[in-house]
Amino acid sequence: MAKIWVLKEPRKRDRAWNIYALREAARLKRWFKGVYYSPRLGRLLAVFKPTPGTHINQLVFEELGESALRDAYRMECPSGCNRCCVIHSGAFMLDVEVRMLPQELREIVERQPRERIRTPGGKVTIYRLDTEPMGRCIFFDVERGRCLLEEKLGKSSKPIVCLLTYCTVFASRGGKRYVKTGYRVLPDGRVEMNYREVSEKEWRAMAQRMGSVWRRYRRIHRALASDVEGVGDRKES
C-alpha cells in the first residue's frame, strides 16, 4: 500500500520544538501535498509524499497508509479572501527557506527583524514577514490580492508556515466543495469538524464575504497612498 508522511502535531507550549519541526517540514516542501482533515482520525494531517530514498526525520514525521486520506477533506484557500495575509498575518520565514530565495528577495527578507531560536536540532533563525501596517505580510500585494512569492516562484516558495496554516472553513472532497459548519473537541482530544456540501456559487460568495477585510484594507491603503501623493504634489508646486 502506498505511504504518506504526515507532520506530527505541534507540541503545546514548546515553541523551540515546533520551530524545529517546521524547519524539517520546510526541507520537504516540494513534496507537500496539502492539509487534510480526517474525520476517522479526528485530526488535521499535513501530508508529504517524498520520492523514495529521501531522508525523513521520524522525530517529527509519522508514516501512514494513503488510505488515511480516503474519507478526508482537503483544506482549501479560495482566491479573494486573503485574510491570512493582510492583517495580523504572523508570517515568518525560516533560514533554510530564505537561503532558497533568489538574491533580491533574500536581501529583502534579511532586512526584516529576526530572531534566533535554540531548537533540539540546533539554532534556527526566523525572519518576520508581518512588518507592514496591521501585520500585513511584506509579500502581499494589497492591490491585486496576491502572494508575490507564489506568483514569482511557485507555491513551494511560500513559507512552510503559510502552506500549513488554514482557517479550515473551506474544504474539498471527491471534486465537491464544502464549508465548515462547526466543530467540537471530543473527550479523547480528537476534533470533530462538520462540513456541508455547497455549490460553486455559494463557495465563491462565502470567499467574497471573507474577503471584505482585505477590500476594506485596500480602500484605506489607496486613500493613504493618494494622500501621500497629494502631499508630494503640494511640495513640488
16/210 with CB nearer ligand SF4: 210
Q: Is 162 in the site for ligand SF4 (CB under 6 A)?
A: yes
The footprint of ligand SF4 on residues 102-121 (CB under 6 A) is none
Among the listed ranges 9-17, 103-111, 166-174, 223-231, the one in contact with ligand SF4 (CB under 6 A) is 166-174
* Parallel/antiparallel/unpaired status of strands 92-94 and 170-173: unpaired
In 3D, which of 7, 68, 20, 8 has the Cα closest to residue 40?
68
139/195 with CB nearer ligand SF4: 139
Among the listed ranges 39-47, 61-69, 109-117, 160-168, the one in contact with ligand SF4 (CB under 6 A) is 160-168
Q: Is 179 in the site for ligand SF4 (CB under 6 A)?
A: no
Task: Dump strand ranges (E) for the chain.
Answer: 3-7, 32-38, 43-48, 61-65, 73-76, 92-94, 114-119, 122-128, 140-141, 146-147, 170-173, 176-185, 191-198
Burial class from Cβ neighbours inside 10 Å (0-12, 13-18, 19+) for residue 177 reads buried
Q: Is 142 in the site for ligand SF4 (CB under 6 A)?
A: no
N residues, the chain: 237
Q: Is 37 in the site for ligand SF4 (CB under 6 A)?
A: no
89/119 with CB nearer ligand SF4: 89
Per CB under 6 A, the list member of 137, 164, 179, 206 interacting with ligand SF4 is 137
Cα–Cα distance between 152 and 122 in angstroms, integer? 31
Q: At 215, give phi and psi (nearest 5°).
A: -65, -35
CB of 138 to ligand SF4, least distance (A): 7
CB of 196 to ligand SF4, least distance (A): 16
Q: Is 91 in the site for ligand SF4 (CB under 6 A)?
A: yes
Among the listed ranges 10-18, 19-27, 158-166, 179-187, the one in contact with ligand SF4 (CB under 6 A) is 158-166
Per CB under 6 A, the list member of 48, 127, 170, 195 interacting with ligand SF4 is 170
For residue 120, give every residue at least 6 positions away whose Cβ sits within 8 Å of its Cβ, in sequence order, or none. Answer: 16, 17, 20, 59
Cα–Cα distance between 179 and 75 in angstroms, integer? 10
Cell of 10: 505541534
Is the Cβ–Cβ distance between 8 and 156 less than 8 Å?
Answer: no
Cα–Cα distance between 13 and 10 in angstroms, integer? 9
The footprint of ligand SF4 on residues 41-60 (CB under 6 A) is none
Number of residues forming the site for ligand SF4 (CB under 6 A): 23
Q: Is 129 in the site for ligand SF4 (CB under 6 A)?
A: yes
Please report, as ranges, the residues that interact with ligand SF4 according to CB under 6 A.
77-78, 81-85, 89, 91, 129, 137, 139-140, 147, 149, 158-159, 162, 166-167, 169-170, 210
